[in-house]
Structure 1
Amino acid sequence: MEKLTKWLKENNITEIECITPDQTGIARGKIMPTDKFIAEKGIRLPESVLLQTATGDYPDDEVYYSLLDPADIDMHLRPDDSAVFLVPWALEPTAQVIHDCYDNMGNAINLSPRNLLKKVLELYEDKGWKPIVAPEMEFYLTARCTDPDLPLTPPIGRSGRSESGRQSFSIDAANEYDPIIEDIYDWSEAQNLDIDTLIHEEGTAQLEFNFRHGDALKLADQVFVFKRTVREAALKHNISATFMAKPITNEPGSAMHIHQSIVDVKTGKNLFSNPDGTASKLFYNFIAGLQTYIPQAMPMFAPNVNSYRRYLPGAAGNSPVNIEWGEENRTVGLRVPASSPEGRRVENRLPGSDTNPYIALAGNLICGYLGMVDDLKPRKPVAGRLGDQADDHVPFNLEVALDMMSECTELREVLGDDFVDGFIATRWAEYEGFKKVISSWEREYLLSSV
């Protein structure tokens, strides 16, 4: 706290946003004056915020009270002085401080997504391993629309026109949004976010920012803050930004591709490569773990009903609908980019940009970890283009995915029953709310014909 207090005073911070991510990835917390924050050394929040859905609802009472105290008691949130960021869009000097969640006895609360990732990283630490990750974040810029029944449209660019057609990697198309892009870069720099490359993706007004590789917990924090940053930058320019997995009909979905490798803590060497530069046994084990456990962990990569709209065989710009692997092959779910032996890594192309970054990274790393400790063997790599037929092993709808995760004893053993049951319960609660809404497709095609 002493280090954090010094930083707050040096930066003349007058207000603190005390935040922690919920299951969906929404920032929950309190805003308070700096003096009060320093005096109290943390905040208290109801435990129930960790079971709140995107709609503000909660799981049914049976699950709710099996995971939480019936009195809806408070949990204690402690600030992490390594997860402190400026709020460059605020009107007065403001900082956002990410907090960890503990119970009254000082035990880490299992329902917390950040605690979950820390728990997974401790398994690696016990082995003398350290994961290195690099997320890629895709999102859409759209015109402001306050009516949820209307489809989203591209915003007006610098030219005064809306974008149309496919503009993959177009520099001119990206430059249409220079004002907002400059704000994203400037605000990210002010927050020490390690963003690197910008590209225009395939969809209309769809952009992708890549992060530099680094520590998994720090990158999860940065992605969490980055999503807030992008949305705030869009609002400044009177447009919107969305990280929905599939926000626009007939346009590509948005992904959070995750690159990962594992290094030896003592030597700093990439454990995916042998001394002679060839791929190591642990490299193949890691891929095998992803292939074995991604089907059961799918809700961690595709948590919302909209997430599964990315996985449409034959659709424009669809995500890979398989968990095959191959070198330099974007048609497989697990791509191995061309690199030096020191840079050998695996890219998981299945997660959507709508995922909670803590949960997606935890899921990705635990699948690979189980492959390494259980000495699993991968399927043969795929050379050439893989067809669009969906992999029978993978659940590409939310209902089946939730059932499979619930029944996976291996994930329960390492992630804990509390997290698995709580996470699944919030997903079911949101899905039940979704099923109560009648879609425009149903009205258009069924209203007068059935």
Structure 2
Amino acid sequence: MVDRNNFTFSELESWLQAQRVTEIECLVPDLTGVARGKILPRQKFTEDRGMRLPEAVVAMGVTGEFPEEGPYYDVISPNDRDMHLRADPTTARLVPWAVDPTAQIIHDCFDRDGELVPFAPRSVLRRVCGLFEAEGWSPVVAPELEFYLVARNSDPDMPLKPPVGRSGRAETSRQAYSIDAVNEFDPLFEDVYEYCEKMELNVDTLIHEVGAGQMEINFFHAAPLGLADEVFFFKRTVREAALRHDMFATFMAKPIAGEPGSAMHVHQSVVNQKTGRNLFSNTDGSPSKEFFWYIGGLQKYIPAAMALFAPYVNSYRRLARHTAAPINIQWGTDNRTVGIRSPLAEPNARRIENRVIGADANPYVALAATLACGYLGIKNQIEPTPECKGDAYLGDFQLPRSLGEALTLLREEKELAAVLGESFVSVYTEIKEIEYAEFMKVISPWEREHLLLHV
């Protein structure tokens, strides 16, 4: 396995040569997490790494639409100017499903003055990690990513269904943690693990989650930027593997009515760079004041960050009472009914789990936002509420119930915008308003069923 932590361009060239790579997928994650970019011949990539793309490419909605006017163009030039892309050699991976030897490399976005484009998702995460670095802290994260396998469906008007497994039957009941249910899709997961091994992804455990056809993959803990890259790569990988087995893999937050939604739970802690000590534990092993302040920050700012954690109209269908998804910002130890959980762990592994984030969230944006909440909690010494030791589902809703409400809260929270970048928040909220307006043009089956002849 190649150590990419300090991978230089000369080492990248040697690696490309050793792998006999003939093509390079030059990738840029956009606001939705879609891979944008260009495919270059190896020689062209080597000769000219100064690739350019219009800056709006990373700032479009999931429908591909742009605002026609408004604050969006206070940040992004209406002249459709270029941004300059620079390859990050540490992200170089093979494309294991390609016919010819192909590499994929993630690029950072810079403006003409050499500054990071502030609304590019990777730039936002770099910005937040830089704030931790300035304090002498290193954030550590470990995502747990849920997704559904579903039967191929080319008609968006038809509901999704679980796929048929090796037995020739689709799941009709919930099979949480069932080994046999995972084995139904052995050929698919053999490909997934083979692809992940060739790409040197940091994946750990695969389990069957609660829903019919719902799976979860866990990632080993590491630095945020590298893990966001791996989640980005993994989503591409599992979608491709599923297609090769005549099914879809989806990271929609709520793809199937009546089944639990899919989350991206993020475990997080902070290490003191000088001492190497977990900032969340005192020397005697007890929880530190920073541990509680971090929780306090999550509690205060998660409602305003929900448009980042739950970025689509569909996202809010997941956040319902007694559905394995949180409805509030209570915190508790080893309590899966709360939004902010502290798993049982040794003092050096003490961490906090944000259970609010959906699987549909952009991994760069989601990690930046949850770290920003905790950072503000420590900096502002925000005390948390008393620990919830019972069933948090019995409490009140404390999260926004719709994308529109969440966008209003995000716009109003100036401290969070200062950490994430005001230009990013401006562009992001404008894009989400466009998506919401597109959604409102669609008449749902529920409306036709219940309103057509009754009102």
TM range (shorter): over 0.9
1:378 corresponds in structure 2 to: 384
Q: Give the aligned residue type for 2:379.
A: V
Is contact 1:245–1:354 with CA below 8 Å preserved after alignment?
A: yes
Q: Give the aligned residue type for 2:338.
A: V
Is contact 2:293–2:381 with CA below 8 Å preserved after alignment?
A: yes
Q: Equivalent residues in 2 for 1:165-204 (5 A)?
A: 165-204=173-212
Q: In the TM superposition, what is the alpha-carbon distance from 1:3 to its structure 2 partner?
A: 2.2
Of residues 444, 447, 450, the one that matches 1:445 is: 450
Distance 2:227 2:268 in 1: 12
1:424 paired to 2:429: yes
1:436 paired to 2:441: yes
Deviates more, 1:265-274 or 1:132-141: 265-274
Q: Equivalent residues in 2 for 1:36-435 (5 A)?
A: 36-314=44-322, 317-392=323-398, 394-435=399-440
Q: Unpaired runs of 5+ in structure 2? A: 1-8
SS of aligned partner of 2:168 = coil
2:3 corresponds in structure 1 to: none
* TM value normalised by structure 2: 0.97
SS of aligned partner of 1:387 = helix
Distance 2:20 2:333 in 1: 50
Please tell me the root mean square deviation across aligned C-alpha atoms, in Å. Answer: 1.0
Q: Unpaired runs of 5+ in structure 1? A: none
Cα distance per residue 1:77-109 (max 9 Å; x no partner): 000011111110111111110000001110111
Q: Give the aligned residue type for 1:364.
A: T
Taking every aligned residue pair, what percent have the same amino acid on both sides? 54
Is contact 2:327–2:393 with CA below 8 Å preserved after alignment?
A: no
Distance 1:48 1:172 in 2: 46
Distance 2:11 2:442 in 1: 49
Is contact 1:332–1:386 with CA below 8 Å preserved after alignment?
A: yes
Q: Give the aligned residue type for 2:86.
A: R
Is contact 1:321–1:388 with CA below 8 Å preserved after alignment?
A: no
Is contact 2:124–2:421 with CA below 8 Å preserved after alignment?
A: no
Q: In the TM superposition, what is the alpha-carbon distance from 1:279 to its structure 2 partner?
A: 0.3
1:22 corresponds in structure 2 to: 30
Q: Give the aligned residue type for 2:317.
A: R
Distance 2:92 2:141 in 1: 20
* TM value normalised by structure 1: 0.98
Is contact 1:327–1:336 with CA below 8 Å preserved after alignment?
A: yes
Is contact 1:167–1:173 with CA below 8 Å preserved after alignment?
A: yes
Distance 1:343 1:83 in 2: 27
Distance 1:268 1:76 in 2: 37
Distance 1:70 1:306 in 2: 31
Distance 1:441 1:339 in 2: 45
Distance 1:396 1:264 in 2: 37
Q: In the TM superposition, what is the alpha-carbon distance from 1:6 to its structure 2 partner?
A: 1.6
Distance 1:388 1:155 in 2: 35
Structure 1 residues 119 and 310: alpha-carbon distance in aligned structure 2, compared to 1, 3 A threshold: same
Distance 1:440 1:306 in 2: 15
SS of aligned partner of 2:88 = strand
Structure 1 residues 29 and 89: alpha-carbon distance in aligned structure 2, compared to 1, 3 A threshold: same
Q: In the TM superposition, what is the alpha-carbon distance from 1:388 to its structure 2 partner?
A: 4.4
Is contact 1:286–1:368 with CA below 8 Å preserved after alignment?
A: yes
Q: In the TM superposition, what is the alpha-carbon distance from 1:439 to its structure 2 partner?
A: 0.6
Cα distance per residue 1:121-146 (max 9 Å; x no partner): 00000011001100001000010000
Q: In the TM superposition, what is the alpha-carbon distance from 1:265 to its structure 2 partner?
A: 1.1
Is contact 2:59–2:431 with CA below 8 Å preserved after alignment?
A: yes
Distance 2:176 2:420 in 1: 38
Distance 1:59 1:336 in 2: 41
SS of aligned partner of 2:112 = coil
Is contact 1:51–1:59 with CA below 8 Å preserved after alignment?
A: no
Distance 1:78 1:177 in 2: 39
Q: In the TM superposition, what is the alpha-carbon distance from 1:389 to its structure 2 partner?
A: 4.4
Structure 1 residues 91 and 388: alpha-carbon distance in aligned structure 2, compared to 1, 3 A threshold: farther
Is contact 2:326–2:393 with CA below 8 Å preserved after alignment?
A: no
SS of aligned partner of 1:305 = coil
Q: Give the aligned residue type for 2:446.
A: W
Q: In the TM superposition, what is the alpha-carbon distance from 1:297 to its structure 2 partner?
A: 1.0
Corresponding residue pairs, total: 447
Q: Give the aligned residue type for 1:131.
A: P
Is contact 2:61–2:435 with CA below 8 Å preserved after alignment?
A: yes
Is contact 1:335–1:346 with CA below 8 Å preserved after alignment?
A: yes
SS of aligned partner of 2:204 = strand
Q: In the TM superposition, what is the alpha-carbon distance from 1:63 to its structure 2 partner?
A: 3.0
Distance 1:313 1:294 in 2: 18
Distance 2:74 2:38 in 1: 26
Distance 1:442 1:318 in 2: 27
Is contact 2:324–2:337 with CA below 8 Å preserved after alignment?
A: no
SS of aligned partner of 2:314 = helix
